[in-house]
Structure formats: structure tokens, C-alpha cells
Amino acid sequence: MPMSKRCIPYTPRSRELHQSVFALVSTAGVHLRGQEPFNIEGDNSWRVLPGDVQAEQLMVTHDHYDHHDADEDINCVFPIDRLRELAAGGIIGGVASRHLGFMGYSQRLREIYEQVAPEMAKLILRSNADAVLMTAG
């Protein structure tokens, strides 16, 4: 069955925006400077980013988009500062205790669909996140 014919997965929200804690999940190749970089030729691994991560601790490893802007300001693809500002302003309930970085360039799509994505979802579900904002792609 081609992937485009699969059902659209849908979980309705059970809280209001201002009550909801948000996690960021990005396929823009974001990771901590100390973590192993992604393999630009294809990588199905993910990186766990702590909830209190600072923008300057993050970097991008990706060969399939021009990330000069993200290198200068990670918020272009991973809006951690903007999310924190919205939390401080009471627009959202908070910023989650963990976020996830992924590269998203891979030929092994079935593995992503059957193993990787469910594992990443489990990590988010086991955190304090009520909601996820995804970026890149």
C-alpha cells in the first residue's frame, strides 16, 4: 500500500493552547555540539535534546539544505527561544523536558515508519509534553 494512501493519524487535543506543554521535533539535522553528528549520507538515528537546551549549544549537520541561516540562528529551524518566550507570556503552557533532533535524509523509509518514528513518539509520550511542533520538510 503506497504511503500516501495510509490513514491520517490524528489525536485530538485535550487541552487548551495555554495549558499545553510543547516539545520540538525537527528533521533539520539539529543536535547538541557534543553529540555525534548525523551521517549526511543517510541516517535514521535521533538525538535527544534536553528541555533546558540553550540555542548556542545546538548545531546542524545536514547536506540537503543550505543551513547557513540555521547556523547563525537555530530558531530558523528549531524555535526554542521563541517557544520559551511564548511560555513566559502564558500563550502556551510550557516547554517540554525533552526535544528530538533527526536528519530526515534517508533511503530507509520503511525502517523510519515501522521502527524509528514509533520509538521517537514513545520518547515524547514519556516526557511531560502535551503537544509537538515539527519542523523541516
Partner 1 sequence: MVGIPTVMITVFPEETRQAGPPRAFHPQNFKPGNSLGGPHQVELQRQVLQDALRRWEAREEPGRIWEQPYPAYTADDSWREAYREE
Query: Which residues form the interface with partner 1 (CB under 8 A)?
Result: 3-4, 6, 8-14, 16-17, 25, 28, 64-70, 72-73, 75-77, 79, 82-83, 85-86, 91-92, 121, 124-125, 129-137
Say which residues have a Cβ less than 8 Å from residue 91's Cβ, sequence separation at least 6.
Answer: 17, 18
Which of 98, 102, 120 minimizes the C-alpha distance to 53? 98
CB of 16 to partner 1, least distance (A): 8
| Shortest reach from residue 67's CB to partner 1, in Å | 5
Question: Which of 41/72 has CB closer to partner 1?
Answer: 72
Least distance to partner 1, CB of residue 25, Å: 8
Q: How far is the CB of 17 from partner 1 (least distance, A)?
A: 5
Q: Where are the alpha helices (DSSP H) in the chain?
A: 68-72, 80-88, 109-111, 117-125
Q: Residue 42, Cβ neighbours under 10 Å: how many?
A: 11
* Closest to partner 1 by CB, 40 or 91: 91
If the CB atoms of residues 32 and 112 are measured against partner 1, the closer one turns out to be 112
Phi, psi of 17 (to 5 degrees): -55, -45
Q: Which of 20, 45 has the CB closer to partner 1?
A: 20
The answer to whether 26 and 77 are in contact (CB under 8 A) is yes
